[in-house]
């Protein structure tokens, strides 16, 4: 699918919407997978959705929004820290409503990845489609704000690009054909090559301040421990963590080259691996007690939306703030708040 610009009428309405906050940057744009999705998948024919309770039970009005958590996700906390008084809306939701669009938009789609094939498997919004959506957004922005104002918004905005987990857990690790062709390290190289192309494309469209979270320790996810660890093990899967470390190293070195190649680019790599690893290995130091299973469901796999077609989850932990994970792949709001503080520290060069 492509992205239509048929909602220009909503842009016109936004000219009359007062923005009372004074954010540190003019706008925030988000590209990524389920860790950053705020509801785009609600509008797609995909199995990967979080539009049912208990997802969102601790969010605004205690309603599910499409976020894969009990409440806020990292990008929500980041938006608040930057001074925005409303969260950047899911882009696809703008076909039925429009508000505060000039503050930025969220294009992230659960099931997406640095490879278009990852998203196609799950009918998600691919990285290429997310970029096309952003192009449509820019065209409408110029129409209503004028080319000069639009240019200022585009160049002054912060862009967050977060993919990778879906490429491994929803593509490589479950696709025997890929195993026969590429080692996980070769697959990582391919992902990083696609990352570099995306950053260059985003730069060509005017982006100058880009933050890129690294992979977290993927082998510590409850789903990874259940599916790929030894029987009855509660320990992180080292071989999967090693792949994440390798990917992050390649991401860093490639980003250094991109900074040299693209004049005026501020590209910050946001280290998600170390703080998350600290959290799962020393939880009591951060106020957590459960790191090996998600808060919802009765097992480590059934509580992942793609394995739960009935969209019914009965069992929920009594205190989500003590759990690192909400389901088998995604963190609780408490974890997201902790991670946001860590990542924002790395992102300060984009704000100053």
In a domain, 315, yes or no: no
Instruction: Give the distance from CA 317 to its chain's centroid.
Output: 25
In a domain, 294, yes or no: no
Within 13 Å, how many C-alpha atoms sit on residue 310's CB side?
Answer: 6
User: Which domain, by its residues, includes 251?
Assistant: 8-278+332-351
pLDDT value at position 95?
A: 63
In a domain, 298, yes or no: no
Mean predicted confidence (pLDDT) in 74-89? 95
Query: Which residue among the candidates 69, 110, 330, 346 is catalytic per the annotation?
Result: 330
In a domain, 300, yes or no: no
Domain of residue 183, CATH code: 3.40.50.1110
Q: Residues 295-338: pLDDT tens digits? A: 996 444 544 555 444 555 667 899 999 999 999 999 999 999 99
Q: Residues 166-204: pLDDT tens digits? A: 999 999 999 999 988 999 999 999 999 999 999 999 999
Look over the chain and give the mean of its residue pLDDT values, rounded to a whole number. 89
User: Count of domains in the chain?
Assistant: 1
Query: Which residue among the candidates 33, 34, 76, 79 is catalytic per the annotation?
Result: 34
pLDDT value at position 12?
A: 38
pLDDT band at 45 (very low <50, low <70, confident <90, very high): very high
327 catalytic residue (yes or no): yes
62 catalytic residue (yes or no): no
In a domain, 129, yes or no: yes
Q: CB–CB of 66/190 below 8 Å?
A: no
Query: Which residue among the candidates 33, 76, 327, 346 is catalytic per the annotation?
Result: 327
Q: Residues 99-115: pLDDT tens digits? A: 457 889 999 999 999 99
- pTM > 0.85: yes or no: yes
In a domain, 93, yes or no: yes
330 catalytic residue (yes or no): yes
164: left (phi over 0), alpha (psi -120 to 50) or beta: left
In a domain, 305, yes or no: no
Q: Which residue has the higher pLDDT, 238 or 1?
A: 238
In a domain, 210, yes or no: yes
The SS3 call for residue 144 is helix
Q: CB–CB of 239/219 below 8 Å?
A: yes
pLDDT for 19 beyond 70: no
Q: Which residue has the higher pLDDT, 188 or 227?
A: 188
């Amino acid at each position: 699918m492509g992205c239509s610009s048929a909602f220009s009428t909503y842009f016109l309405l936004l000219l009359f919407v007062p923005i009372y906050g004074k954010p540190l940057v003019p706008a925030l744009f988000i590209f990524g997978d389920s860790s950053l999705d705020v509801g785009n998948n609600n509008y797609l024919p995909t199995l990967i959705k979080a539009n049912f309770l208990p997802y969102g039970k601790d969010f605004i009005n205690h309603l599910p929004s499409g976020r894969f958590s009990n409440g806020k996700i990292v990008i929500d906390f980041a938006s608040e820290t930057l001074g925005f008084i409303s969260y950047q809306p899911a882009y696809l939701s703008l076909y039925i409503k429009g508000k505060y669009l000039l503050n930025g938009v969220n294009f992230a789609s659960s099931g997406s990845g640095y490879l278009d094939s990852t998203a196609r498997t799950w009918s998600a919004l691919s990285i290429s489609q997310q970029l096309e959506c952003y192009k449509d957004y820019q065209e409408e922005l110029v129409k209503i704000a004028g080319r000069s104002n639009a240019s200022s918004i585009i160049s002054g905005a912060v862009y967050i690009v977060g993919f990778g987990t879906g490429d491994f857990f929803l593509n490589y690790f479950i696709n025997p054909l890929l195993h026969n062709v590429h080692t996980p390290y070769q697959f990582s190289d391919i992902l990083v090559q696609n990352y570099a192309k995306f950053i260059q494309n985003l730069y060509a469209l005017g982006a100058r301040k880009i933050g890129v979270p690294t992979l977290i320790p993927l082998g510590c996810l409850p789903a990874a421990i259940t599916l790929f660890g030894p029987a009855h093990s509660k320990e992180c899967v080292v071989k999967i963590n090693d792949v994440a470390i390798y990917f992050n190293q390649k991401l860093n070195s490639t980003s250094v080259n991109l900074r040299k190649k693209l004049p005026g680019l501020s590209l910050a790599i946001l280290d998600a691996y170390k703080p998350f690893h600290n959290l799962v290995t020393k939880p009591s130091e951060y106020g957590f007690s459960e790191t090996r299973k998600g808060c919802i469901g009765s097992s480590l796999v059934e509580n992942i939306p793609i394995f739960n077609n009935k969209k019914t989850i009965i069992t929920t932990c009594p205190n989500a703030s003590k759990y690192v994970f909400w389901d088998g792949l995604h963190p609780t709001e408490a974890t997201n708040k902790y991670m946001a503080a860590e990542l924002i520290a790395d992102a300060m060069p984009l704000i100053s």
